[in-house]
Amino acid sequence: MPNKHEITPAASLPRPEFTAVGVHAPYADPLGAQAVQLEDMRQYQLLEGGQMLDSARRGEQIAATKRLPGEFNSTVGRAVAGKMGKVMTSAEVQLANDVHSYRELGQRFMVQGENKSGPIDAGLKAVRIHLRELTSEQSDALDRYMKSTATAFFKNNKDADSLIGNDSWANWLGSASDKQLMNFLQWHNYVLGSQRHSPELHEEVERQRAMYKRDIQEGVEQGWLGKDALKAAERTDDIDVLVGDQFDTILQGRTGYHFRGTPRVVVMQGAGRTHKTRIRDARNNINNTLPHELNHAVLATAANRPRSPLAERWIDEALTEHISAVMFHGEPDIVKPAEREDDQFVYDAERQLLDFLLNHGPQKVDAALATRAYSGDAEEQQEFYDALDRAWGTRVLPKVAAAIEKYETLSNAPAGIRGQTAAVLSVLGDLMDAPPLVFGARYEQPKRGELVGASRRQATS
Ligand SMILES: [Zn+2]
């Protein structure tokens, strides 16, 4: 049977070194957010016949102007896109306008944009500050996006390269004129909006949703998902899937994300020179990332229980990604990324640690206990905790969590995702070297023994 998930990986966008899917960080004022806010200005401009605005005074006028309905005569609005840009076609203008009429986003960013000096000036200023504050990893990710995608923004493809020379796009955009920066934001909005409204991508999401529900059913039948997982499958239809801004996804070190307790997941937009290649790239992103994010959104019953040991980020992500890998390729008992076929190596460190705890302690613990606990009820969760504690002869998950936290808070620990990964690897190293480093000085390892808690049902092959 052909692999039902199979789509040729495009890899048109190289991933940054620390790609992590679905970090649950607070919404961090992405550049794209500011860009959407600035659509107010665009709308006004279009009706003005494509003239760029030139002063804060005009900005204030627009701030006082009522939001306009999402329809306009697009021939009126051929945006003259500044001296670096091209003239947008009517079709492109239409799409960008759709972004503007995305009511929820508009309201959200209007609130963020409230500022005494007027929303447009404040918005552009915030964008410039944001660009200057990018880390070198984020700046590299922006350069890759611009290199693969922004050439379409210029009259001819050579312009983009000759324009910045050896400089970074973050620097160039950060010191670009208001017109150029506005033009870039509009263009970026158009790229994002045209994907959000792409029927092809909507179709892909529905296709993935249906496959995902079948995968859950299979997992329950094969015994590696919990009893409640079928109820979770029903919730899949209620999940809102949104194509996410590059600035809010890959520049934040993630290809998608989900906020705990909300029915919305976000998957990174596509990159590429033409609309067609961008759609293909976005399809691949949806294909690669959506099962992981849906796992968080509908399947992870344990992570949503208060004070659950499975709500710890390291094991939540390890299991989320493991289950998504099993949905792609099967083999529910193989947790170690290096032992899997065609693994995406996402949350690699976290899964290595989980594999070590399951398979390299004094006694082995069946991986199905962990995946059932992730998706199951309180009883199934307790079953997993007990098996793990029995295998190691101590309270495993709380002590591992404390050890990770200790490494994360060291003064020389790297920040963000890199710090979390480093802490997980440090704890794994300690467990390999000397488990008392993690479990306490008086820890004594129990004797080696049999598999703890073998599957109640026959696991899949
Ligand atoms: Zn995740």
Q: What per-residue confidence (pLDDT) applies to 19?
A: 21
Out of 7-21, 240-254, 410-424, 444-458, pick the least confident. Answer: 7-21
pLDDT band at 159 (very low <50, low <70, confident <90, very high): low
- Domain coordinates in residue numbering, the chain: 31-196, 199-299, 309-439
Out of 12-21, 88-97, 227-236, 307-316, pick the least confident. Answer: 12-21
CA of 20 to the centre of ligand 1 (A): 7
Q: Would you state the structure tokens that stand for residue 450, as one six-digit string?
A: 């049999």
Q: What per-residue confidence (pLDDT) applies to 450?
A: 54
Q: What per-residue confidence (pLDDT) applies to 166?
A: 81
Q: What per-residue confidence (pLDDT) applies to 204?
A: 95
Task: Extract long-range pairs of 78-81: CB within 8 Å, 24+ residues apart.
Answer: 78/50, 79/42, 79/45, 79/46, 79/50, 79/186, 80/50, 80/51, 80/52, 81/183, 81/186, 81/187
Q: Which amino acid belongs to residue 446?
A: P
Longest dimension (CA), the chain: 80
Out of 102-106, 159-163, 284-288, 377-381, pick the least confident. Answer: 102-106
Contact 155, 62 (CB under 8 A): no
d(CA 70, CA 297): 31
CA of 177 to the centre of ligand 1 (A): 38
Out of 230-234, 246-250, 282-286, pick the least confident. Answer: 246-250
What residues flank ion ligand 1 with Cβ within 5 A? Answer: 21-22, 317, 320
Of 87 and 27, the one with more pLDDT: 87
Q: What per-residue confidence (pLDDT) applies to 384?
A: 97
Percentage above 70 pLDDT, the chain: 63
Q: What per-residue confidence (pLDDT) applies to 129?
A: 77
CA of 293 to the centre of ligand 1 (A): 6
Mean residue pLDDT of the chain comes to 71
Of 76 and 272, the one with more pLDDT: 272
DSSP string, 51-83: PPP--HHHHHHHHHSPPPPS---TTTT----TT
Q: Which amino acid belongs to residue 424?
A: V
Of 36 and 157, the one with more pLDDT: 157
Q: What per-residue confidence (pLDDT) applies to 355?
A: 97
Q: What per-residue confidence (pLDDT) applies to 169?
A: 87
Q: What per-residue confidence (pLDDT) applies to 106?
A: 26
pLDDT of 111 over the 90 cut: no
pLDDT in tens, 39-83: 433 333 333 332 323 323 333 333 333 333 322 222 222 222 222
The average pLDDT across 131-148 equals: 86
CA of 298 to the centre of ligand 1 (A): 12
Percentage above 90 pLDDT, the chain: 35
CA of 329 to the centre of ligand 1 (A): 18
Q: Would you state the structure tokens that stand for residue 208, as one six-digit string?
A: 């993935």
pLDDT band at 416 (very low <50, low <70, confident <90, very high): low
CA of 318 to the centre of ligand 1 (A): 8
Q: What per-residue confidence (pLDDT) applies to 365?
A: 97
In DSSP terms, 256 is beta-bridged to 267
Out of 16-20, 158-162, 427-431, pick the least confident. Answer: 16-20
Q: pTM for the full model? A: 0.73
CA of 94 to the centre of ligand 1 (A): 34
- Which residue, 391, 244, 373, 394, is CA-closest to 315? 373
Q: Would you state the structure tokens that stand for residue 112, as one six-digit string?
A: 């963020």
pLDDT of 248 over the 90 cut: no
pLDDT in tens, 211-230: 999 999 999 999 999 888 99
Most confident of 57-71, 189-203, 350-364: 350-364
CA of 116 to the centre of ligand 1 (A): 38
pLDDT of 199 over the 70 cut: yes
CA torsion, ordered 216, 217, 223, 225, to nearest 10 deg = 30
CA of 21 to the centre of ligand 1 (A): 5
43-78 burial code (b ≥16 CB/10 A, e <16): bbbbeeebebbeeeebbeebbeeeeeeeebebeebb
Q: What per-residue confidence (pLDDT) applies to 122?
A: 57
CA of 259 to the centre of ligand 1 (A): 10
pLDDT band at 275 (very low <50, low <70, confident <90, very high): confident
Q: What per-residue confidence (pLDDT) applies to 162?
A: 64
Contact 363, 448 (CB under 8 A): yes
Of 112 and 271, the one with more pLDDT: 271
